[in-house]
Amino acid sequence: MKTSKNEPRAETRRAMPILCGADIELANFVASAEPACGTGYEASRALLAEIEGMPIRKDSHSLNSRWSAAPAVSRTGANTGKGVYFPASGWGYNLQDVARRFLPGNGGCAYIDLDHAELCIPEVLSALDHVASWHAMLRLMRGALDRANEGRPQDRRIKVLVNNSDGHGHSWGSHLNFLISRGTWDNIFFLKAHYLAYLASFQVSSILLTGQGKVGSENGRPRTPYQLSQRSDHMETLMGVQTTFRRPLVNARDEALSGRSTGDDPSAPARLHCIFHDSAMAHGSCLFRVGPMQLILALMESGKVNPRLILDDPLEALESFSHDPTLKATAKVITGQHLTVLELQSAFLDEVKRYAAQGMFEGVVPRFEQIIALWEDALNKFAEGDLMALAPRLDWVMKLMAIERAIDDNPSLDWDSPEIKMIDHLYSSLDDDGLYRAYEASGFTEQLVSPERIAYFIDNPPEDTRAWTRAMLLRRAKSGNVEVDGVDWDRITFKIRGRYAWPSYRAFEMANPLGFTRAAAEPVFESCMDFGDLLDGLESLGSEAALPSHAIEVN
């Protein structure tokens, strides 16, 4: 049917499942050691040396070598985004993305970013699989920590914290990555200002469920004894491409990791790089970083953006909400109404529930009913003031409970005591002194995924994304006469030795993040013994690797 020139056209595009990835930096340092430039360099390299992955680069031997650095890093190796690093010989060296290695076990990867060991989970579709995959990566890091500390004297043990702030003005990232359409990405950053403000407002209100909690404030912010979010004091602008200075609420980095080019197709995949959230330990905080965000992005994919939920000043609201664990602080939305963080989160939940009843999330957000039920239950418990019931599920509440108990048991302590800041840091320690680990071992924490599911993701990739084929290709190459020359999320290059030892190079593209699943690719792996034939077979999948989707109408 033709439309007149003056008649609005309905644009039909595909809503793809909101796949999620994560790249998360850790604090790592050597105990009882304070050289001027920090100990992050030594600690991160010792940890990465204990993680097996591919490819192994020629410079991998340097992971345990001694280097010096300009004193522009904190004692925890904080990501300041500043400073020039030099090896002992004096030539310059870029410490971002050092020695990246992909894991044949689960398809994720590990590397070093500005002296932080960084863990990347394999791509997952389900928020619950995100929880399991993240805890699997933490178990891998715990094993690396134990091995790196073997033989070290007690005062030279390496420590690893799953947090985002050292309390001295430095912050490091806990980034999430969401698959959205190019059309929605363009709406957020180029075409529709209210999309950007809507997303920022949701993220600000989400700290109620996702914050890890922090003692004190930093980065020039007003003093507070305790706040919900570790990242909030370091957010300084609404939008930008940068990640290490003037950090934005909504990051505009445009790196799709889904092929060399996406063209102008509004349904083509794009990646929303989210640098906003805290690192998470509690299963509920892990889940709420991803599940509600998937649901909100699905609304945005279908054009369901309610401007009445947009904050007038998201950055000001973030500080107010984060600095008030009593949850009484309010912030103004553009209608002029003042809402608490609980009221604003509840309004976003009501939007999601309304469209869930219309079937909007079917085939787009896995297990959305369970996510919504957990989300609603948590907000109801906040409304009832039942923090004790929420402590096993949410990091900031669990940490607050531990600190208040310590103060109650020790009248000499107050919020300014260094012992209290120590509890703040030890909450996320991966060593035996970790408070979250102690709560978990005691059975106090709420387990949304089973220990068996976590253990599965240590040695197995997700079956419903391209991570499955990535992991299987790395395993096959490792066991055959094939060398992995380079790996990225959407491309692997192999060096294949021929009959007379002359090598040939072969690149395999995995542009579709939702393709090359186990169901699609396993028959090819089972039928092809020769590596070249295997790559031919995978490339021939063609339409079998197409994006699963359904049609939606966007006006």
Q: Higher confidence at residue 514 or residue 1?
A: 514
Smallest Cα–Cα separation from 140: which of 460, 490, 355, 508?
A: 460
Q: How many CB atoms lie within 10 A of CB 395?
A: 30
CA distance 156 to 168: 22
Collapsing DSSP to helix, strand or coil, 54 comes out as strand
Report residue 388 as tokens.
């004790």
Q: What is the pLDDT of residue 71?
A: 31
Q: What is the chain's mean pLDDT, rounded?
A: 88
Q: What is the pLDDT of residue 506?
A: 94
Q: What is the pLDDT of residue 260?
A: 63
Give the lowest-confidence range in 48-52, 237-241, 505-509, 549-553.
549-553
> Per-residue pLDDT for 91 more than 90?
no
Mean pLDDT of 162-172: 95
Q: Cα–Cα distances in Å, from 247 out to 30, 174, 242, 279, 543?
A: 28, 13, 6, 16, 40
Residue with tokens 């020790």: 410
Q: What is the pLDDT of residue 94?
A: 52
DSSP code of 59?
G
Q: What is the pLDDT of residue 295?
A: 98
Give the tens place of pLDDT for each residue, 250-271. Answer: 999 999 998 865 557 888 899 9
Mean pLDDT of 36-42: 83
> Per-residue pLDDT for 47 more than 80?
yes
Give the tens place of pLDDT for each residue, 314-355. Answer: 999 999 999 999 999 999 999 999 999 999 999 999 999 999
Backbone angles phi, psi at 438, to 5 degrees: -65, -45
| Single-letter residue type at 142 | R
> Per-residue pLDDT for 544 more than 50?
no
Give the tens place of pLDDT for each residue, 268-316. Answer: 899 999 999 999 999 999 999 999 999 999 999 999 999 999 999 999 9
> Per-residue pLDDT for 60 more than 70?
no
CB-neighbour burial class of residue 52 (10 A; exposed 0-12, middle 13-18, buried 19+): middle
Q: What is the pLDDT of residue 545?
A: 52
CB-neighbour burial class of residue 359 (10 A; exposed 0-12, middle 13-18, buried 19+): exposed
Report residue 485 as tokens.
């020359």
Give the lowest-confidence range in 67-71, 364-368, 543-547.
67-71
Q: What is the pLDDT of residue 66?
A: 36
Q: What is the pLDDT of residue 499?
A: 67
CA distance 100 to 60: 10
CA distance 362 to 355: 11
Report residue 170 as tokens.
């430095």
Q: What is the pLDDT of residue 97?
A: 78
Give the tens place of pLDDT for each residue, 427-447. Answer: 999 999 999 999 999 999 999
Give the tens place of pLDDT for each residue, 384-426. Answer: 999 999 999 999 999 999 999 999 999 999 999 999 999 999 9
Find out whether 393 and 373 touch, Cβ atoms under 8 Å: no
To the nearest 10 degrees (0 to 180), the angle between helices 395-409 and 435-442 is: 100
CA distance 228 to 217: 11
Q: What is the pLDDT of residue 11?
A: 45
- Percent pLDDT > 70 in the chain is 86
Q: What is the pLDDT of residue 68?
A: 32
pLDDT bucket at 472, cuts 50 / 70 / 90: very high
Q: What is the pLDDT of residue 365?
A: 97
Give the tens place of pLDDT for each residue, 446-471. Answer: 999 999 999 999 999 999 999 999 99
Q: What is the pLDDT of residue 554?
A: 41
Most confident of the ranges 29-43, 64-78, 213-227, 250-264:
213-227
Report residue 188 as tokens.
């957020």
Measured torsion, CA atoms of residues 152, 166, 281, 30, in degrees rounded to the nearest 10: 0
Q: What is the pLDDT of residue 449?
A: 98
CA distance 247 to 233: 10
CA distance 434 to 504: 49
Residue with tokens 């106090």: 444
pTM metric for this prediction: 0.91
Smallest Cα–Cα separation from 109: which of 128, 118, 469, 79?
A: 118
CB-neighbour burial class of residue 361 (10 A; exposed 0-12, middle 13-18, buried 19+): buried
Mean pLDDT of 232-236: 98
Q: What is the pLDDT of residue 259?
A: 80
Report residue 109 as tokens.
């990867």
To the nearest 10 degrees (0 to 180), the angle between helices 467-479 and 531-539 is: 170
CB-neighbour burial class of residue 256 (10 A; exposed 0-12, middle 13-18, buried 19+): buried
Collapsing DSSP to helix, strand or coil, 533 comes out as helix
Q: How many CB atoms lie within 10 A of CB 436?
A: 23
CA distance 12 to 97: 39
Smallest Cα–Cα separation from 166: which of 115, 237, 95?
A: 115
Q: What is the pLDDT of residue 548?
A: 45
CA distance 48 to 294: 31
Find out whether 316 and 331 touch, Cβ atoms under 8 Å: yes
> Measured in whole angstroms, how far is the alpha carbon of residue 511 from the centre of its chain?
21
